[in-house]
Amino acid sequence: MSGETLTASEYIKHHLQNLTYGKIPQGFEHAGSWGFAHTPEEARNMGFMSIHVDSMFWSIILGALFLLIFRNVAKNATTGVPGGLQNFVEWMVEFIDTNVRGSFTGKNPMVAPMALTLFIWILLMNFMDIVPIDWLPHLAGMLGADFLGMDPQHVYFRVVPTADPNITFGMSLSVFALMLYYSIKNKGVGGFVGELTLQPFEAKNPLVKLLFIPVNFFLEFVSLVSKPVSLSLRLFGNLYAGEMIFILIALLYSGGAALGIFGGVLQWAWAVFHLLIVLLQAFIFMTLTVVYMDMAHSSH
């Protein structure tokens, strides 16, 4: 997995491949059985029922970490001078509550907790991009060799869940499902269909209004479907690009002492700048979710 055994192209491809578990496709060794993919080609041919184990592992671990920390702080909260962790949690809760109050005009006690969960969860997943690019994959390679009997070069392990479109689309589609549910619940089927067919073009003449319906539906349907797509791709694209830049910087360490020193400075500079992206993308995802939920609770 190091630059000594892999070419630059192989190194990049290795770091961009997920640890995939699924049914071994035809044409590969042990076809028909279930197991981990040993090559990117094998992973691509596993089909819909395969799973990215590394993305699921880190997203679940970080989600559980968020729940554990916030639960313990809430359980042990004191009324006196708060400690550092309690002070941070209270600040985060107040920050999210202020943003929700400014963007959400409806009444739904679920929106603020959902916004807090999304912000902290995505923030933690994004922060995995700051971990040095080779540390955890190298550890996973050693564990895979010891416990699974796999060649370390065939143990793929990505540590940034939000650089996996399956994770970002999963979150955005969940938000989209809630948006549709509350739109129909608050406006009724007729009101929801009316928003898709009776705007933006309107007319008092019934015949003209009827002619506008397919045009309005096309425009509003595209706008509706674009919400989860843009929500997921924005987060994925920014984190994928950040991960790619860290990989390219890591290649400099195999180019000698001078390039190694330059790579270290460059990595530090990019990590500092990337912190802003990590925070901003979590905030944007949370804010757009609140805005979409507000749209679901508003009637035209």
Q: What is the pLDDT of residue 1?
A: 45
| Confidence (pLDDT) at 123 | 97
Among 238, 254, 298, 299, the one annotated catalytic: 238
How many angstroms separate the CA atoms of 102 and 114, rounded? 16
| CA pair distance 129, 243, nearest whole angstrom | 6
pLDDT digits (tens, 9 = 90+) for 50-99: 999 999 999 999 999 999 999 999 998 887 777 889 999 999 999 999 99
Q: Is 72 a catalytic residue?
A: no
Residue 238 is among the residues annotated as catalytic for this protein: yes
> How much is the average pLDDT of 188-195?
92
123-132, 152-161, 211-220, range with the lowest pLDDT: 152-161
pLDDT at 261 over 70: yes
Q: Which of 166, 174, 234, 254 is catalytic?
A: 234
Catalytic residue among 230, 232, 254, 298: 230
Per-residue pLDDT band for 300 (boundaries 50, 70, 90) equals low
Strand order in the sheet with 34-36: 34-36, 20-23, 51-52
- What pLDDT score was predicted for residue 204? 86
143-165: burial string, b at 16+ Cβ within 10 Å, e else: ebeeeeebebbbbbbbbbbbbbb
Query: Using one digit for the tens of pLDDT, what is the confidence trace for 124-154?
Result: 999 999 998 988 998 888 888 777 667 777 7
Q: Is 230 a catalytic residue?
A: yes
Is 294 within 8 Å of 100 (Cβ atoms)?
Answer: no
This prediction's pTM = 0.92
pLDDT in tens, 7-56: 889 899 999 999 999 999 988 888 889 999 988 999 999 988 899 999 99
